[in-house]
């Protein structure tokens, strides 16, 4: 019987980038919220992402109050997300 390869989502990659996947806000973790808010949990959306747009998203999430679900990301995590975008673009282009 053939083994099914593992299925990865943008959420899984956000966890690998170092985003918190434990603390919940309205039933969703920070990794889930970023995967859906910025990338719509779809790898193809990385092709349309620009670094300026990504920085605006980071500022928007950091500008929320704690009651609104503020997400502050450390510079190393932001760097990992930028690298994730470049990796996705490369994988999509290479097929």
| Upper half-sphere CA count for residue 83 (Cβ side, 13 Å) | 11
| Upper half-sphere CA count for residue 53 (Cβ side, 13 Å) | 10
Sequence-separated (6 or more) residues with CB below 8 Å from residue 62: 70, 71, 72, 73
pTM: 0.86
Q: What is the pLDDT of residue 85?
A: 95
Q: From CA 43, how far away is CA 59, in angstroms rounded?
A: 22
Q: What is the pLDDT of residue 79?
A: 96
Q: State pLDDT tens for residues 39-51.
A: 998 999 999 989 9
């Amino acid at each position: 019987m053939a083994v099914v390869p593992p299925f990865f989502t943008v959420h899984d990659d956000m966890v690998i980038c170092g985003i918190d996947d434990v603390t919940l806000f309205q039933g969703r973790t920070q990794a889930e919220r970023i995967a859906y808010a910025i990338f719509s949990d779809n790898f193809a959306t990385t092709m349309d992402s620009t670094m300026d747009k990504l920085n605006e998203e980071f500022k928007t999430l950091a500008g929320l109050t704690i009651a609104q679900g503020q997400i502050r990301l450390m510079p190393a995590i932001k760097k990992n997300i930028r690298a994730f975008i470049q990796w996705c673009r490369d994988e999509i282009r290479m097929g």
